[in-house]
Structure 1
Amino acid sequence: MTKPNIYIAYTGGTIGMQRSDMGYVPAPGSLTQQMQTMQALQHDDMPDFTVHEYEPIIDSADMSPANWQQIADDIAEHYDDYDGFIVLHGTDTMAYSASALSFMLENLAKPVVFTGSQVPLIEAHTDARENLIGALLFACKPELHEVCVFFDNKLYRGNRCQKTNANSYHAFDSVNYPAIGEVALALNLRDDCQFSKVSKPLSVQAIKNTQLAHIRLFPGLDSRVLNNILDQPIQALVMETYGIGNAPVVNQSLVDILTAATNRGVVIVNTSQCAIANVNMDSYPTGRALKDIGIISGFDMTAESAITKLHYLFSKYDNIETIKTQMQTNLRGELTP
C-alpha cells in the first residue's frame, strides 16, 4: 500500500534551534538533519515526507501578514503533490498564523497541521519528537479538511486556539471549543467536529495591507488614548471589553469617540477579555450602548482569530456592510453565533 506523502514547511521556531553562548539560536539545516536520524519517523506506520526549510528562517515574533501569504502560497504550490501539510512554526504567533491560513486557504480539502515545540529537538527532554510524530499522523487523515494546531497530544482547530502557557509543554488551549483530536492509546479524531469535504479547487485569498488595531479596556483608560488610536488612518479595531461585551459607557467622551469612528466606516469588533465568554451586547445597558452606535459582536472568537479574519475580509471585500456581516458569520468554525 502506498504511504501518504506529507509536505513539511519549516518556517522557523524553537523546534530547530541549537545551543549557543547567547542561548538557543536558529541553525539552518539542523532540523532536517535531525529528522532524518529519528528512528520513530522511519516506522512503517509513518508517512513519507519532504522538508522545505525557509530561507531565511523566520522567528515567530517577526511573523507578518506577508509571511502568512508566503506560507499559504507555498502550500498552494505543492497542494496537488501531497496528501497533507505540516507547518513548523514558532509558538509565540502560531495561533495568529494558523487562524490566518484557516481563512486564506479557501475550499481546503486536505489537512494543514501547525506544530512546533517549547524545547528544541536537540535536547533530551524535548517535546518536539511527540509533536512531530502526532502532527505527521494527523496530517495523513483524509477526513481532516482544515487548518489545525497540534501540541502536547491535542489537536485544535487553528482559529480557536491560543498560546496560554509559556512555561509548559501544554502551551496551547482552546477554551471555547473542544479539541478536535488527541493522541492517547489511539489516534482519535472527533466525528462531530469535522467539516464536510469540498469539491472545489483550492484558492488562496491574497492578503492586502490592512490598518488594524487592538485595544484592551481597563478601568481608568483615558479616552484620549483611544482617540489617538482611532484618529489614525485605521480601518478596524478589535476591542476587548469586560464580561460578555460591556464597556464604561458612562464615559461620554469614550462613547463619542467610538461613535465618530463607526460613523466614518471603522469596523469595531467587540470581543471579551474573559477566556470563556460569548459576547452578547443585549444583556446589559453597558453592552447595548455599544451595539446602538454600530459596534459589532465578535461572539466567542479569540483575539487572534478576530484580527486575522479582519485582514482576510478587508482583502476580499470593499463594502463595509459586507465585511460587518461576514465578520459575524461563522466561516471556518471560528465562532459560535
Structure 2
Amino acid sequence: MCRIKILLIDDDEDDFILTRDILSHRAHGNTYELSWCNNYAEAINAMLKCHYDVYLVDYHLGKHSGLDLLNEAVRSNCSEPVIILTGKGDNKIDEEALRLGAADYLTKDELNFDILTRAIRYALRHHNTLGQLRSSENKFRILFERSKDPIMITDAEGFVYAANDAAVEFLDTTPDRLNNETLFTFYKNPEDKELFNNTMERLGSVKDMELEIISSSGKTKYCSISSFIQISQHGHKELYYSILHDIPPIKHNEREPGTSDKRISVARLANVMVREVYNPLSNINFATEELKNNPDRYRNEELLDIIRKNCERINQVTSTLIEEAKKE
C-alpha cells in the first residue's frame, strides 16, 4: 500500500511535532508520511509542483493566512485537497475556507488520530471522485467535438444547450443562430415532434427514430435520431443528449434499366456506403485509442458500448445497401 504524503504548512514547529505524533499511531505508523513547511513561499512552490497528496494548512502564516495560500493554490490550478487548521473554531473562517475550495476545516484543540485521518481519507476520496468526473467530462468533450455525427444537448422543449460542429454543418446554420432556435423547428413533420416527446416521456430514450429535417438553407434531409435523458449537474433540469445519423435518400423512381444507369446506381451506392460507414469508423477509432491507456473499468465499458453500437450501425448500413444492390 502506498504511503499518503502529507505536507503540514505551519510556522510553529511544536504543532508539527504534535501532528507527527498523532499520525504515528502504532497500528498505522507506516500509512502516513508527514513533511513540514514553515513559510508561505516554500508552501506555494511545493503545491504548484504537486509533491504531496494532501496539505494541512494553518490559518495563521505570518503576514499571510491559510486562506490566502488556499486561494492562490486554487487560482494556480493546484487540485490536491487542502485542509485548513485553526486554533479556535470560527464559523466565518469555516464558511470562507469551504467557499474557496478547502476539503475540510479542523480545530487543532480537537484533533486526534480518528478525526484527522478521517478528514484525510474523505478529502482524498472526494479528490479522486472529482478527478474521475473531470476525466470523463474531458473525454466526452473530445468525443463530442471530434465526432463526425451531429450531437446536440437540448432541454425537453428543444432549446439547444450545446451542439458540435457536425450538427451546425448538418443543419446549415451557425452556433449563434442555433442557440436562439429549438431542435424541433427543423422537424419537417409536426407528428415527428409529438412521437419523439411521447417516447422520451414514456421510455426515457429514443433509438434510431427516422425523421425528415429541413435545414436553415431549406434543404430536406433524412436522418435517424437517438436520444437519452440526463439530469443536469445541479439536478434542476432534464437534458436530452441526441445524436443524428444522416440517411442519404435513395430515389427508387429515378432508376431506369440500362448499363449506364446501373453504373450510376453502383456509384451512388458506393458513395452512400462511404458516407454512412465513415462516421461510425471514426467513432470506433476514437474509442479504441482511448481504451489503450485507460485504466478506468467503468469508462472502458462505456467505450466498448460505443464500439458495439457503431459496429451495429455499420452492419445495418451494409445489410441495407446489399438489399438495395439486389434490386438493381
RCO higher in structure (CA 8 A, sep ≥6) = 1
In the superposition, the TM-score normalised over structure 2's length comes to 0.27
Q: Greater CA radius of gyration, 1 or 2?
A: 2
